[in-house]
Amino acid sequence: MQDTSFCLFTPPPKGKKIVWEITSQCNMLCKHCCANASSRVPRNGFIFSDKKLINQNIQKMVALGIKEFYISGGEPFLAKGILSFLKSLKEKGVKVSVATNACCLNKTIIRNLSKIKIDFLHVSVDGHLPEIHNVLRGGNFFDKVVKNIRMLRRYKIPVRVGCMIWRNNENLLEEMVKLCINLRVRNLRFSWLIKVGRFKDNPQLYPKRKWLSVMDEIKRLKKKYRNKLGITTHRVPWLNSNSFQFCPGGDRLFFLNPKGQLSSCSWIAKNDPNFITGKSLKEVGFENLIKEKEILKFKKMLEERKNKGFKGCPFFAQHLNYSYYSDDKLIK
Tell me if 124 is assigned to some domain.
Answer: yes
Of the chain, the end-to-end C-alpha distance in Å amounts to 24
Going by pLDDT thresholds of 50, 70 and 90, the confidence category of residue 187 is very high
How is 264-305 classified by DSSP, letter by letter? Answer: S-HHHHHH-GGGEEEEETTTS-HHHHTTSHHHHHHHHHHHHH
Name the domain count of the chain: 1
Phi, psi (rounded to 5 degrees) for 221: -65, -35
Going by pLDDT thresholds of 50, 70 and 90, the confidence category of residue 8 is confident
Which CATH number is 168's domain given? 3.20.20.70
- pLDDT at 230 (0 to 100): 96
Q: Which residues pair with 164 in a beta bridge?
A: 191
All residues at 6 or more sequence positions from 246 whose CB lies less than 8 Å from its CB, including other chains: 302, 305, 306, 311
- pLDDT at 5 (0 to 100): 67
- pLDDT at 241 (0 to 100): 52
Tell me if 246 is assigned to some domain.
Answer: no
Residue 182 host element (H or E): helix 173-183
pLDDT (mean) for 97-121: 96
Tell me if 161 is assigned to some domain.
Answer: yes
Whether residue 287 is predicted with pLDDT greater than 70 in this model: the reply is: yes
Tell me if 177 is assigned to some domain.
Answer: yes
Whether residue 191 is predicted with pLDDT greater than 90 in this model: the reply is: yes
Tell me if 183 is assigned to some domain.
Answer: yes
Tell me if 24 is assigned to some domain.
Answer: yes
Tell me if 79 is assigned to some domain.
Answer: yes
Going by pLDDT thresholds of 50, 70 and 90, the confidence category of residue 311 is confident
Whether residue 240 is predicted with pLDDT greater than 70 in this model: the reply is: no
211-235 pLDDT tens trace: 889 999 999 999 999 999 999 987 8
Query: Whole-angstrom Cα distance, residue 292 to residue 295?
Result: 6
Q: Which residue range forms the structural domain that includes residue 125?
A: 16-233
Query: Whole-angstrom Cα distance, residue 87 to residue 187?
Result: 23
250-282 pLDDT tens trace: 999 999 999 999 999 999 998 899 999 999 999
- pLDDT at 200 (0 to 100): 87
Query: Whole-angstrom Cα distance, residue 60 to residue 328?
Result: 33
Query: Whole-angstrom Cα distance, residue 295 to residue 263?
Result: 6
Whether residue 185 is predicted with pLDDT greater than 80 in this model: the reply is: yes
Whether residue 154 is predicted with pLDDT greater than 70 in this model: the reply is: yes
Tell me if 76 is assigned to some domain.
Answer: yes
74-103 pLDDT tens trace: 999 999 999 999 999 999 999 999 999 999
Q: Which amino acid is at 16?
A: K
